[in-house]
Structure 1
């Protein structure tokens, strides 16, 4: 686990103290760009990261050893690393490479291998680097390092790099399809500070010189989910006994200066949230490691087994901490099941966001589910499709549908659930997340998914083709519009979608208190309405649709 540490510490001691003179390149700041042929021709087996964090200089020193298995013949290796971090040495299988064998002009480090590598080869690439990493302009939305201080002036440091990618502080293949099979972390910080991170804790070592190294190991982590968290933390911990028969630690690293009552109240939420997710989706995916949360100087982020929490224990009338609940959702929707492409990012955010109103109902009943769904619909923009069917980067998604991947995704999931029924819906979600409908601890591993995968799973579980529903909601910018016309005692309804395609979504109609369902075959339906009768379309708010009063509200807002 600690191989190369002596070499690493020697290089770190000799690394020059370079000021950050350059900015991160546009290439580095775009996460999820297409991989090179060389990157597609290797399996990323393991990353061993030795990182020294120097708070008073706001710089880092690192040595990364990356192990690969070659799946197609190659003549070079390529990984990403921000150019603001100066590379002092590159080794291939332990041999120092001359400077003309590697280059990192825009942040894609390419290592030439003149003799090539055959299928089955297992190259090990070691990179020593140092510098002042990108400072987050507005974490977590615009990410990088957060160099902060606790109320009593001690260093309080965190990373949040979802939009920019892992290459902000460690060399990796910055693409969701190139997760490392394992990441080992050796994080050296000033003695007295604590460095909780991903996966299992393997112990700490006080070197006796003012520095202490904290060691962690995580299996199959999302690359952007590797996180550094450093501060004068105190750990609150307990054992969670799962409904699936296994047990694992729950840990919350919080500032020592926090109000103990607030800490205890938040920690008390861990168990019921876990039980909700296990009952609704399936087993906690990382039960052989931990369910971890760490307090951060930014709002939050879904860092696998060490979720960032910066909501400051705020109460908002929901009866639970929304940030804690949302980031925990990503252990299932994002870390266990990872999108194939950023175009499918709604699978993380939309399905994860839908867990909040479902949890509101789990705790407090239907009123709280409907309240949260209504809040989501008021914030829809509907200017870009949630899914395009083409490759997109994280930045393209953030600058396109933006928050619609959360709210429209969640509202779509609600409509889908009420259309196909709870049994088919939750069976489909579980199968999407685990690759099987009957997950148990030990019988699944992490996997990649696309929107088409969910369509296929829903079709298999229902015996019907629901591609039209996904297309009508997710692949069009505009919401489906339910147009109403009245002639005499007949009320006619028909659906109009952004692409004009058939949309046979059934609709309930309440006439003087009596509810009936229109099948909407071919997207059309008709019902008799006596003169003077009160008519209410979709009285239980089962379907997501265009509502002119919501559009008028949005148009009236000063931020529009």
Structure 2
């Protein structure tokens, strides 16, 4: 999810949804390029598995660990780039029982192998590290570790790093274009606490009188920022949906409230299975884990910190009241399991693929539960958080996300395209086929647009381009000339010919504006013309 920025105006609350958004910078540094670009030191390798062991010391606010990385060499090379924040210490990098030479540049770690590796080789190395990781000041709005206490004075530890980077706390190839095909996470935590991570619990081992190791295994591809650790005084309970295991981990004393609130998971699964297809990580189970921050879409271990209340911390993002019927964090963050976790953007600049579809999934859930009209009201209401100041798509190759409009401007774009198509049966088929076609795949904006154009046989590229690549909304302009009314589009995107519905004296009519003036037949008075702004997210100028 990413963070939600609160702005208070009188009796209303306007929310702009982002989490650790890096924004559209005008100037980039070498550090940005090292993090965001794909050079041979990265593209010559495919990450196959992370086997991560991390010992957490809440008293010292420090961690110590090793990531045993299995990889495949795609081209002959003797050099690899991994990433680890420069404040963390590299203790050693071991390859075939020998220490590897490495050099650090900002958060990048360049490793030199003793001899050239052959193409298609499968190999491994062990990356040992330690230190005091960056601590988040306001998670999840900024990335870092959270060391805090629960209401009973017990240590409670977690981490949130979307946007900031998983290399904040463990070494990895910190780019969304490459996911390990599987992962093991071993959390060594104080023995009176529990360690909870992604995937399926495989057992625990007593390390000594003070520490216990909790073992978890993920058998599906997982992106770096989704790998997580949680340490706390947790209690566990479970449920089942069809053949999917549902597991819940909440703090001691919160089980009764959680059992009631988490009942929303079943109707959510009913809806999302129907509209998007089965849960994409069945083998790894579905989990909600209570966290000391609001929420995050950690794959198969969704972070939950909404205090067992409906809405978004008790508020409605749409201002309609409809958002208070359901728990925002359960629905939104779980929606990311389909969009963001299963389907992942290859560059952080295309994060709209994660956020626009997931923000739209909120309205999908509402439509499943309470009908199309409530869904329409909700999604229209979320426009109050849209700024329309910068483009939704960021700059490629420099670790740059676009604007926070990727949430609800993007969701309203999808709602607009649905209305353009005028075929709900086709729309639902498209969404489900999109989810299933790109399940466990890494894609980009062009792939999304091509999918929707190919399946609909409609020219949708100009529509996607206007909403995603330009700050301003498409503007429908009317004018009166010689007792006649004319209309046209004013847009930055070329060939923008989106049809739109209007009402003339209450009678609905679809018109087909272009960039040149067209005469509106059977219309005499601008005041009698109403544009369907409920279903088209545009600007109108008369």
TM range (shorter): 0.7 to 0.9
Q: Secondary structure at the match of 1:334?
A: coil
Task: Indicate the residue corresponding to 1:346 in structure 2.
Answer: 352
Judge conservation of contact 1:518–1:526 (CA < 8 Å) in 2.
no
* Cα offset, 1:161, TM superposition: 0.5
Whole-angstrom CA distance in 2 between matches of 1:524 and 1:427: 35
* Cα offset, 1:343, TM superposition: 1.9
Residue 312, structure 1, aligned to residue 315, structure 2 = no
Q: Secondary structure at the match of 1:424?
A: helix
Task: Indicate the residue corresponding to 1:17 in structure 2.
Answer: none
RMSD: 2.3
Task: Indicate the residue corresponding to 2:17 in structure 1.
Answer: none
Judge conservation of contact 1:27–1:107 (CA < 8 Å) in 2.
no
> Which segment drifts farther, 42-51 or 117-126?
117-126
* 2:43 equivalent among 35, 40, 45: 40
Cα deviation 1:193-235 (Å, max 9, x = unaligned): 1111101111112335121111011121111100111100111
Kindly indicate whether structure 1 or structure 2 has the higher relative contact order, using CA contacts under 8 Å at least 6 residues apart: 2
Gaps of 5+ in 2: 1-28, 312-320
- Which residues in structure 2 correspond to 1:104-503 (within 5 Å)? 104-218=104-218, 219-241=220-242, 247-258=243-254, 260=256, 262-316=257-311, 317=321, 318=323, 319-387=325-393, 390-394=395-399, 396-397=400-401, 400-401=402-403, 403-420=404-421, 421-435=423-437, 446-487=440-481, 490-499=484-493, 501-503=494-496
Whole-angstrom CA distance in 1 between matches of 2:134 and 2:31: 10
* Cα offset, 1:128, TM superposition: 1.5
Question: For the structure 1 residues 314 and 175, does the alpha-carbon distance in structure 2 shift closer, same or farther, using more than 3 Å as the test?
Answer: same
Q: Secondary structure at the match of 1:178?
A: coil
Question: For the structure 1 residues 481 and 31, does the alpha-carbon distance in structure 2 shift closer, same or farther, using more than 3 Å as the test?
Answer: farther
Cα deviation 1:321-370 (Å, max 9, x = unaligned): 01111101110111110001122110100111011122122212234213
Cα deviation 1:255-312 (Å, max 9, x = unaligned): 112261x312221011111111111111110011111111111111110000111111
Cα deviation 1:397-443 (Å, max 9, x = unaligned): 2xx52x2011111010001111123343333333433327xxxxxxx
* Cα offset, 1:60, TM superposition: 0.5
Question: For the structure 1 residues 280 and 226, does the alpha-carbon distance in structure 2 shift closer, same or farther, using more than 3 Å as the test?
Answer: same
Judge conservation of contact 2:462–2:496 (CA < 8 Å) in 1.
yes
> Which segment drifts farther, 114-123 or 528-537?
528-537
Whole-angstrom CA distance in 2 between matches of 1:526 and 1:496: 16
Judge conservation of contact 1:489–1:529 (CA < 8 Å) in 2.
no
Whole-angstrom CA distance in 1 between matches of 2:540 and 2:295: 32
* Cα offset, 1:466, TM superposition: 1.6
Whole-angstrom CA distance in 1 between matches of 2:348 and 2:516: 31
* Cα offset, 1:62, TM superposition: 0.3
Cα deviation 1:42-79 (Å, max 9, x = unaligned): 11111111111111111011011111111101112221
Question: For the structure 1 residues 524 and 204, does the alpha-carbon distance in structure 2 shift closer, same or farther, using more than 3 Å as the test?
Answer: farther
TM-score (norm 1): 0.85
Number of residue pairs aligned between Structure 1 and Structure 2: 501
Question: For the structure 1 residues 371 and 464, does the alpha-carbon distance in structure 2 shift closer, same or farther, using more than 3 Å as the test?
Answer: closer
Residue 72, structure 1, aligned to residue 98, structure 2 = no
Deviating beyond 6 angstroms after TM superposition, the runs of 4 or more aligned structure 1 residues are 26-31
Question: For the structure 1 residues 334 and 78, does the alpha-carbon distance in structure 2 shift closer, same or farther, using more than 3 Å as the test?
Answer: same
Whole-angstrom CA distance in 2 between matches of 1:526 and 1:325: 45
Q: Secondary structure at the match of 1:78?
A: strand
Task: Indicate the residue corresponding to 1:94 in structure 2.
Answer: 97
